[in-house]
Amino acid sequence: MNMYKKLSRICQLIFVASVAIACSSTESELRPFSSDGCSLFPDSSLISESDWCSCCFEHDLAYWRGGTAAEREQADSVLKDCVAEKAGNESLAIMMYEGVRLGGSPYFYSWYRWGYGWGYERKYQALSPAEVETADSLIKKYFAANEVSACPI
């Protein structure tokens, strides 16, 4: 095997090993809440004074907590309606809605997926009463420590 093929094979093995480690996460506790605003999308208009970051922050609250597929659909619909109202642009709202429907699946190993507060294994799963209590407690702690959201004032 020549040097290029050896190096290529080593890179493939490193990639497979890193994916296996990420996928084997058994984290079953809800991590503290965090938000990055609109993740891979601008938080506001670069042209007008339209600002929909607060819509994304509320959406992050739902995505962090996770839950059922129906709860995700509801969170995505609320985002669409909020963006349409804040931006006054139905096309933008639909584009963001389609983006989160396509990219926010809990089956993707991303930081912005549905249920990102949990380990990757959780997927769609209703929260138990104890988990709801934990989530509510973590949100209270977040707001006690952060007087503002991820969105600039």
Query: Which of 61, 90, 86 lies closest to 74, judged by CA?
Result: 61
- Please give the radius of gyration of the chain, using alpha carbons only, rounded to the nearest integer: 19
Helix/strand/coil for 29: coil
Q: State residue 148's pLDDT score.
A: 66
Q: What is the pLDDT of residues 38-52, one digit of tens each?
A: 988 878 777 777 889
Query: Which of 124, 122, 104 lies closest to 113, judged by CA?
Result: 104
- The mean pLDDT value for 60-64 works out to 97
**What sign for the dihedral angle of Cα 76, 58, 38, 62?**
negative
Q: What is the pLDDT of residues 75-88, one digit of tens each?
A: 999 999 999 999 99
First and final C-alpha spacing in the chain: 59
Q: How many CB atoms lie within 10 A of CB 107?
A: 10
Alpha-carbon span 105 to 109, nearest angstrom: 9
Alpha-carbon span 117 to 111, nearest angstrom: 9
Q: State residue 8's pLDDT score.
A: 53
Q: How many CB atoms lie within 10 A of CB 92?
A: 18
- Band of the pLDDT at 16, cuts 50, 70, 90? very low
What type of residue sits at position 70?
A
Percent of the chain whose pLDDT exceeds 70: 79
Alpha-carbon span 20 to 4, nearest angstrom: 24
Q: What is the pLDDT of residues 121-152, one digit of tens each?
A: 999 999 999 999 999 999 999 999 987 666 76
More confident residue, 112 or 15: 112
